[in-house]
Structure 1
Amino acid sequence: MIIDAHVHAGEYYRHYSARFAQEMTATTDRPPEALSAPEEKLLAEMDAAGVDRVVLLAFDVRRVEGFSVPNEFVAELCARHPDRLTGFASVDAGTPGAAGRLRHAVSGLGLRGLKTAPCYQHMSPADRRWYDVYETAEDLGIPVLIHTGYTPSRNADPRYFSPLLVEQVAKDFPGLTVILAHLGTPWTRQCVDLLARYPRLYADLSIFGSYQPPATVASALAHARDSGVLDRLMWATDFPFASMTESVTRMARLAEDPGPWPPGSAPLSPQEYRLLMGGTARRLLAAARPRHHHRPSEPMT
Structure 2
Amino acid sequence: MIIDAHVHAGEYYRHYSAAFAQQMTATTVMRPEELSAPETKLMAEMDSAGVDRVFLIAFDVRRVEGFSVPNEFVAELCARHPERLTGFVSVDAGTPGAAARLRHAITGLGLRGLKTAPCYLHMSPADRRWYDVYETALELGIPVLMHTGYTPSRNADARFFSPLLVEQVAKDFPDLTVILAHLGTPWTRPCVDLLARHPNLYADLSIFGSYQSPTTVAEALSHARDSGVLDRLLWGTDFPFASMTGSVARMAELTRDPGLWPPGHDPLTPQEYRALMGGTAAQLITPTAFSPTHPPNR
- TM-score norm. by structure 2 comes to 0.97
1:84-125: per-residue Cα shift (whole Å, max 9, x none)?
A: 000000000000000000000000000000000001000000
Match of 2:35 in 1: 35
Compute the RMSD of aligned alpha carbons: 1.1
Match of 2:22 in 1: 22
Amino acid at match of 1:129: R
The alpha carbon displacement at 1:293 in A equals: 8.0
User: Following TM superposition, by how much is the alpha carbon of 1:74 offset from its aligned partner in structure 2, in angstroms?
Assistant: 0.1
Q: 1:28 to 1:293 in 2, by over 3 A?
A: farther
Corresponding position of 1:174: 174
Kept after mapping to 2: 8 A contact 1:106/1:293: no
Does the Cα contact within 8 Å between 1:94 and 1:129 map onto a contact in 2?
Answer: yes
In 2, the alpha carbon distance for the partners of 1:71 and 1:258 equals 43
Note the residue ranges of structure 2 that are not aligned, 5 or more in a row: none
Contact 1:182/1:204 (8 A) holds in 2: yes
Kept in 2: contact 1:141–1:291 (CA 8 A): no
CA contact (8 A) 1:184 1:191 kept: yes
Are 2:199 and 1:199 equivalent residues in the alignment? Answer: yes
Task: Find the counterpart in structure 2 of residue 218 from structure 1.
Answer: 218
Conserved 8 A contact 1:140-1:292: no
- Specify the alignment match of 2:283 in structure 1: 283
- SS of the counterpart of 2:258? coil
The residue number in structure 2 matching 1:236 is 236
1:285 shift after superposition: 1.2
Structure 1 residues 279 and 172: alpha-carbon distance in aligned structure 2, compared to 1, 3 A threshold: same
Contact preservation (8 Å) 1:107, 1:293 = no
CA distance in 2, matches of 1:284, 1:88: 12
Letter in 1 for 2:195: L
CA spacing shift, 1:61–1:293, aligned 2, 3 Å: farther
Equivalent in the alignment of 1:157 = 157
Number of the residue aligned with 1:135: 135
Partner of 1:88: 88
Residue aligned with 1:145, SS: strand
CA contact (8 A) 1:140 1:291 kept: no
Tell me the CA shift for residue 17 of structure 1.
Answer: 0.3
- Show CA shifts across 1:109-167 (max 9, x none): 00000000001000000000000000000011100000000001111000000000000
CA positional deviation for 1:287: 4.0
The amino acid that maps onto 1:138 is: L
Cα 1:293/1:150, change in 2 over 3 Å: farther
> Aligned residue for 1:122?
122
What is the percent sequence identity of the aligned residues?
Answer: 82
Match of 1:79 in 2: 79
Judge conservation of contact 2:99–2:133 (CA < 8 Å) in 1: yes
Aligned-pair CA distance for 1:286? 1.1
Q: Which runs of 5+ in 1 are unaligned?
A: 295-301
- Displacement, 1:288? 3.1
Spell out the pairing of 1:94-113 with structure 2 (5 A cutoff).
94-113=94-113
Judge conservation of contact 2:179–2:201 (CA < 8 Å) in 1.
yes
Instruction: Answer yes or no: is the 8 Å Cα contact 2:210–2:250 preserved in 1.
Output: yes
Q: Which residue of 2 aligns with 1:298?
A: none
Secondary structure of the residue that 2:286 maps to in structure 1?
helix
Shift of 1:183: 0.2
Q: CA deviation at 1:291?
A: 6.1
Which consecutive aligned stretches of 4+ in structure 1 deviate over 2 angstroms post-superposition? 291-294
**Deviation digits for residues 255-292 of structure 1 (CA, Å, limit 9, x no counterpart):** 21111101100000000001000111011111432267
**Cα distance between partner residues in 2 of 1:29 and 1:255:** 28
Number of aligned residues? 294
1:29 is displaced (CA, Å) by 1.3
Deviates more, 1:22-31 or 1:125-134: 22-31
Q: Give the secondary structure class of the aligned counterpart of 1:93.
A: coil
Amino acid at match of 1:193: D
Paired with 1:257 and 1:222, the residues of 2 have a C-alpha distance of 14
Does the CA contact (< 8 Å) of 2:119 and 2:159 recur in 1? yes
Q: Distance in 1 between matches of 2:163 and 2:287?
A: 24
